[in-house]
Structure 1
Amino acid sequence: MIERSAGRGHVCDALTADRSWPRALLAAAAQRFHEALERLLHDAKRARRRRVAAGVGDGEGGGV
């Protein structure tokens, strides 16, 4: 991501060259974000299965 940001060469160069806090901080934040999205997707799929099993929805369109 950082290496491909056009027009922000100086900032990108600084972040890609420095392997200390900025990179570690960004990597940790990206990992937490990914884990949160995975949990949300899992919860949404589970809720949909429950709705379908309960006969509330038909599992087609209109939702998660």
Structure 2
Amino acid sequence: MSEQNQNEKETVEAKPAKISLQEAMKRKLAEKKQAQAQANNPANQKAKNQTVKSQHTKKPNNQRRRTGV
């Protein structure tokens, strides 16, 4: 029976306690700040600064020439 009581205690401890709205907002703000700090990391800057390829380098559509229109 002692094993069963221990299992019941573990399930009670595993349930998250209710938190106030103020505490929830603080946690969410902390997560947001952390995400912004990671976004400003110099390792991630290379991916942000990629130049857009010019569309003038695309192969022209030669459908009119092929169809004779």
TM-score tier after normalising by the smaller chain length: 0.3 to 0.5
Alignment TM-score, normalising by the size of structure 1: 0.40
Q: Based on CA coordinates, which of the two structures has the bigger radius of gyration?
A: 2
Alignment TM-score, normalising by the size of structure 2: 0.38
